Copies of this chain bind each other. A is one copy, B any other.
Amino acid sequence: MTVNSFKKILVPIDGSSYSEKALKRACDFVEAFGSEIILIYVVEKSIPINLLDRKEYLEILQKFGTKILDKSKRTLSKRGIPAKTFLKEGNIVNEIEKVAKKEKCNLIIVGNKGLGSVARFLLGSISNKISQLSLCSVLIVK
């Protein structure tokens, strides 16, 4: 391997067991290829839910996202792996793609399901959309 094809890895997380599994696989890459990990949580803004006041709803998701990012960062830290984190608001797929591009990631490791778990109708489609739209390679973990 002349060039490290897995130098920078973006792992979108959402607190689901699927994203936890994706994070575990990312650790395998760190050990094997010395990859850097970047974590991202996206607060989905476009969900048409009126159960709560919109502002309150977004605040709750932001708190949840911060918690999930901290937890994942601690998990990595215990294994001696540093990680950059991003908390974004917007469309999940677009925000992931934007960070992947900006940070020049070589790979996105994503769980097969999860991501957008609040909007259950989206289940399973996020990972497909990422793999279709992303400019870098995508590992879909099952």
Q: Which A residues have a C-beta under 8 Å from some C-beta of B?
A: 1, 5-6, 24-25, 27-28, 31-33, 124, 127-128, 131-132, 134-142
Contact = CB atoms under 8 A, between A and B. Distances in A.
9 contacts: A5-B25, A25-B137, A28-B33, A127-B131, A128-B128, A134-B142, A136-B142, A138-B142, A140-B140
Contacts of A142: 134-138
A43 to B, nearest CB: 26
Contacts of A137: 25, 139-142
Given A132-B128, A140-B138, A5 B33 contact: no
Given A32-B33, A139-B139, 16 more contacts: A1-B27, A1-B28, A1-B31, A5-B24, A5-B25, A6-B28, A32-B32, A124-B132, A127-B131, A128-B131, A131-B131, A131-B140, A135-B142, A137-B139, A137-B141, A137-B142
A135 B140 CA distance: 11
